[in-house]
Structure formats: structure tokens, C-alpha cells
């Protein structure tokens, strides 16, 4: 936590300052502050419904905050015009939570799509880059397959190859470990770490998988009730005394985070009358 506080602004590639965001009457973030340091793998964790995916949409300006700032390389993204926003997004690679493969395109063409849209590379160079990325995720042999022929885990790995095909400066992973078998998960965890270090990129990783997060991240933020409940290295979070942090990190059924989403009284709603 101290290392984060002492970091200079130039060390932070993304800064979230006093962020407020609501959906209707429900407040998702209330004065949220997060710093993503260059060259590190930063994990965003928290119970379901805390707005982790919403935060990624705010960082890429798919959503606009009600209050506060999101700075990328010191630039407030809310001030960008459409051209500036598109240029900014080309610095990001995004692994979507559901993979989001284009179902009418082959595996090869899904991965090649960003290159065809944003570069003037020849078909020969595109083929070289795409096969290299597919090889990195173990699916070079599936290049001619269609998304409907893939398992869920294979589709997620293809989506990862597409996310990194442009060699982005910032790589965002939204639940990258969902649907992966233990072998594939181990490979992807190692790939995330190696890519980050070898290419000098900055990674933002949203996940519920505490063990995998702990093995790959440099710093983790735990979000609860619209704020940062704790931050630091995985070891620091494991030693935290906060009940919310302990419940999440150790998978405890009982604690301040309720399993049930807020709802009217069960008996009253079920029976359609007041409880006697």
C-alpha cells in the first residue's frame, strides 16, 4: 500500500480519481481511487455485483462516470473527441468476459480482424502474426475452425490471441480463467505473466480466482461497497484483518458480504401478502 502511495504520476499508466458511478438509484462506485502502474499486472477483485466489469467499461470509456476522473497516461479520457478516443482504444487489448468471437469468421480471421481494420500489413505478414499468437495460446492447429466448433475454453484462448495480436500497451482481462481446464489455466496464467514482463505492457486483470490472481499479480485491489476495501500484494491481502477481505480471500460463507442480492422480505414476496 505504501509503495502505491509513493508512486509518482508518471509511474501510473491509468489513474482513477474519486470516481462516482450509478445505475438508476443504485450506486456502483462511491469515491473510488485506483492506480495502475506501468509494467505491472494489477488485479481487480471483489464479490459478484461490485462493478468490476463496469469499471473496465469506464476505463475504456464505454461508460461515462457521474463524477471523478479516469486518466490514461495523464490524459483525462472524458475530454477526448471521437478521433482521440479511437486512437486511445488502439492502445488497449481486451479479453471480453464471454470471449465475444465473431461467429461468422474462422479462428484465424477472428484473430486477424484487428490487424485488417487498423493496419496496412500484407496478407503474408498478417498470417505470420496471427499464427504466432495462436501458437502462443496452443491453438495454431485450430486456425481454420469456426467458433461454433470450439469448446468454451478454446474460445477463450482464441479471444486472448485476438486481444494481444496488436501488441497493445495495456491489456485488459475480464475473467480470463473462466471455462479453462487446469492445464490450460496454468498455461494462460504463465502466459499473462510472461507477456507482461517480456513486452513491457501493463495488465489489468479482473477475476474471482484468488489462487490464480495471487500467482500472477503484482498488486491487487479488492472492491466492496463502491470503494477500495484493501490493496497491496497478494500476501498483504491474505494477511488483512478486515472481515470483508478475509471473507473473500478465504472463501468464507459467513461474513459481511451477503450471498443474497438485496430483495423484499421473502415470505411477503412469495405469498403476495404481509407477513403476520
Name the CA radius of gyration of the chain, rounded: 20
Residue 266: predicted pLDDT: 64
* Residues comprising the chain, all counted: 276
Residue 114: predicted pLDDT: 92
Residue 144: predicted pLDDT: 94
The closest of 114, 169, 158, 115 to 133, measured between CA atoms, is 158
Residue 143: predicted pLDDT: 93
| Domain architecture of the chain: domains with CATH | 2-91+168-271 (3.40.50.300)
Q: Give CA–CA dist 203/37, Å, rounded.
A: 9
Residue 5: predicted pLDDT: 43
DSSP string, 63-99: S--SEEEEEETTEEGGG--HHHHHHHHTTEEEE-TT-
Answer yes or no: are the C-beta atoms of 238 and 220 closer than 8 Å: no
In the three-class reduction of DSSP (H, G, I as helix; E, B as strand; rest coil), residue 204 is classed as: strand
Residue 240: predicted pLDDT: 67
Residue 149: predicted pLDDT: 93
Helix (H) or strand (E) holding 18: strand 12-23
Q: What is the mean pLDDT of each run of 10 residues along the chain (276 residues)?
A: 47 92 88 91 82 89 91 90 88 82 93 92 94 90 92 84 90 81 79 82 84 81 83 74 62 49 66 58
Amino acid at each position: 500500500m505504501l509503495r502505491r502511495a509513493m508512486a509518482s504520476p508518471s509511474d501510473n499508466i491509468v489513474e482513477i480519481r474519486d470516481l462516482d458511478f450509478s445505475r438508476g438509484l443504485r450506486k456502483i462506485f462511491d469515491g473510488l481511487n485506483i492506480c495502475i502502474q506501468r509494467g505491472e499486472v494489477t488485479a481487480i477483485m471483489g464479490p459478484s455485483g461490485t462493478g468490476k466489469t463496469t469499471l473496465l467499461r469506464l476505463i475504456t470509456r464505454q461508460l461515462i462516470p457521474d463524477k471523478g476522473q479516469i486518466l490514461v497516461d495523464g490524459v483525462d479520457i472524458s475530454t477526448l473527441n471521437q478521433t482521440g478516443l479511437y486512437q486511445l482504444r488502439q492502445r488497449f487489448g481486451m479479453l471480453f468476459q464471454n470471449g465475444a468471437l465473431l461467429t461468422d469468421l474462422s479462428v484465424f480471421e477472428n484473430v486477424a480482424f484487428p490487424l485488417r481494420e487498423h493496419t496496412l500489413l500484407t496478407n503474408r505478414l498478417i498470417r505470420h502474426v496471427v499464427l504466432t499468437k495462436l501458437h502462443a495460446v496452443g491453438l495454431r492447429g485450430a486456425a481454420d475452425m469456426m467458433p461454433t466448433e470450439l469448446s468454451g475454453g478454446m474460445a477463450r484462448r482464441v479471444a486472448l490471441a485476438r486481444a494481444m495480436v496488436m501488441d497493445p500497451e495495456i491489456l485488459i482481462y475480464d475473467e480470463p480463467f473462466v471455462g479453462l481446464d487446469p492445464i490450460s489455466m496454468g498455461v494462460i496464467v504463465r502466459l499473462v505473466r510472461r507477456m507482461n514482463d517480456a513486452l513491457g505492457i501493463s495488465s489489468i486483470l479482473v477475476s474471482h480466482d484468488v489462487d490464480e490472481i495471487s500467482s500472477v499479480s503484482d498488486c491487487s485491489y479488492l472492491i466492496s461497497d463502491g470503494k477500495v476495501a484493501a490493496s497491496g500484494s497478494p500476501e498483504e491481502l491474505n494477511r488483512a484483518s478486515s472481515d470483508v477481505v478475509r471473507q473473500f480471500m478465504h472463501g468464507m460463507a459467513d461474513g459481511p458480504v451477503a450471498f443474497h442480492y438485496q430483495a423484499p422480505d421473502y415470505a411477503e414476496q412469495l405469498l403476495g401478502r404481509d407477513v403476520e
